[in-house]
Amino acid sequence: MNSPTLRTKLPAVGTTVFTRMSALAVEHSAVNLGQGFPDFASDPALQQMVSDAMRAGHNQYPMMSGVPALREAIAAKVATLYGHAYDAATEITVTSGASQAVQTAILCCVHPGDEVIVIEPAYDCYLPNITLAGGVTVAVSMELGADGYSVPWHKLAAAVTARTRLIIINSPHNPTGSILRESDLQALSDIVHGTDILVLSDEVYEHMVFDGARHESVCRHADLVARSFVISSFGKTYHVTGWKVGYVAAPKALMAEFRKVHQYNVFTVNTPMQHGIANYMADPKPYLALPSFYQRKRDLFREGLAKSRFTLLPADGTYFQCVRYAAISRLDEAAFSEWLTTEIKVAAIPVSAFYSQPQESGIVRFCFAKKDETLQLALERLSSL
């Protein structure tokens, strides 16, 4: 019996590079510095708060938009850190991780034929969701200079057309570890001023900015916040990526459209985890301490890599470190990453995988959100290069 034919909606999509490299790492007993997740535990106090919420009976559907106490805690955090007051009832929605927030934001505002400007290299969930919405991706590549990666705003401005519906930005940036500065937000504001262009600001690494710099959220900028979906992730902030809890903040009119889609693609999010996180957020110290926590790991990792033949690129935010490997190999990035995993026993991710059309630059990405002993083991193996 022949199976029915199914015409794919994502013809360019296969198994993600993260899945492939993680499987390869397991197969070869490699230290996995590829996929971006911690290998250390979250705070036992947070786990206890979730357990307490379960025992208290918070196990049924919460409100579609999220537990009120959590939305209020999010609004209070944003107001304190960035100075913008969101209405917790109408302008904040709890999501099943940041990826669902990204998908829902795109689906609610991008119509067939609309253009979406994406800055590359870009996190891999953006483009498939644009395709699913019927949109057209317009890619603008970052430039790499002595100070690291930066956005060529003049090129982005030239990419804007009458069909541009949305611009996606990401800071701190995955995979490059770069951050947007105040001048970058002003350049973006100048581009969208007086238009109906919306902004999706992926800020999941908001609490991982180093060397005394501050996170330049679009929430700090009046013209941008009025047209933006701002997305963050408790998984990244509290070391619980498997919980898949995030949120989106947006003006009331945008949020009303967001929730129309949200209620049908997810409806709502894990109840006891929402209550647990809401209680945990009463103390801001865990996220306020995150920059120094990860900066120490970054510095440990960079000091070790400096003894190898890798060339370090700046790492101003996130928990990722990009490196050039031209002094080690002439393999392309995917082949080098596989060789590194199978022969040196350390997994990395090729930066070329973050482009709509692979661009070879001789750069791979490591994740340093790992225990010190994990990083030391990886550095022992990498020091031979």
- Ranges of CATH 3.90.1150.10 domains, the chain: 17-42+288-382
pLDDT in tens, 103-124: 999 999 999 999 999 999 999 9
What are the tens digits of pLDDT across the range 138-151?
999 999 998 899 99
Reported as a single tens digit per residue, the pLDDT across 73-111 is 999 999 999 999 999 999 999 999 999 999 999 999 999
Task: Kindly indicate whether the domain formed by 45-286 is annotated with CATH number 3.40.640.10.
Answer: yes
Determine the pLDDT at residue 1. Answer: 67
pLDDT at 122: 97
pTM of structure: 0.96
Domain with CATH 3.40.640.10 in the chain: 45-286
Q: Please state, as a whole number, how many other Cβ atoms lie within 10 Å of the Cβ of residue 309.
A: 16
d(C-alpha 233, C-alpha 378), whole Å: 27
- Please report the sign of the dihedral spanned by the C-alpha atoms of residue 169, residue 174, residue 176, residue 180: positive
Fill in the amino acid letter for 225.
V
- The per-residue pLDDT for 3 is 81
- In CATH, the number for domain 17-42+288-382 is 3.90.1150.10
What span, in angstroms and rounded, lies between the C-alpha atoms of 76 and 282? 10
User: What one-character DSSP code corresponds to residue 360?
Assistant: -
Question: Which residue numbers in the chain have pLDDT < 50?
Answer: none
Measured distance CA(337)–CA(210) in Å, rounded: 27
Strand pairing class (228-233; 346-347): unpaired
Look at residue 93 in the predicted model and tell me its pLDDT. 98
Six token digits for residue 3? 């199976």
Instruction: Return d(Cα 378, Cα 33) in angstroms, integer.
Output: 8
DSSP 193-227: TTS--EEEEE-TTTT-B-TT-----GGG-HHHHTT
